[in-house]
Amino acid sequence: MVTTAKAVGDLFDLIERKPDLLVDADLTVERDGVAFTVRGYDDLVAVDLPSLGAAFSLWRDRPVQGRSVAAALAAAGLTAEIRVRGAPVARLGADAVPSPLAKRLGFGPVQLFLDGALLAITPRRG
């Protein structure tokens, strides 16, 4: 049986030998009864969730550590942007600029957008 660390290391080795990836996707994904969208625009993958709680749940239950995900995305030339109701709340991967807050919270190489988080928790009108 292959350990997760070995499998992730093998994935990094494979990705580093390949040219940058481009993603073209338009998906609706359902996880634990919560639907969200995943859209790929060349080197950006946008994951749009319906609530901040759904974003935290997705982060908490990820199969690999955030640092490994960010490193794998960067090695592939990809950036993932996590959005809540269309407002960007986090970015990781090639174009992410790690924020001091993310470092303090132990999130690793993740860029957090506080203004996006504020928009995400603001109730919608109408």
Token pair 């990820």 in the structure block, residue = 62
Q: For all residues of the chain together, what is the average pLDDT? A: 81
28-33 long-range contacts, CB within 8 A, separation 24+: 31/58, 32/57
Q: Domain segments of the chain: what residues?
A: 4-121
Percentage of the residues of the chain whose pLDDT score is greater than 90: 30
Q: Grade residue 81 by pLDDT with cuts at 50, 70 and 90.
A: very high
Q: What is the pLDDT of residues 93-117, one digit of tens each?
A: 889 998 887 788 777 678 989 899 8
CB 90 within 8 A of CB 110: yes
Across the range 22-51, mean pLDDT stands at 91
CA–centroid distance for 58 within its chain = 9
| Burial annotation 81-113 (CB, 10 A radius, 16+ → b, else e) | bbbbbebbbbbbbbbbebbeebeeeebbbbbbb
Q: What is the pLDDT of residues 86-95, one digit of tens each?
A: 999 999 988 9
**Predicted TM-score (pTM) above 0.85:** no
Across the range 4-16, mean pLDDT stands at 64
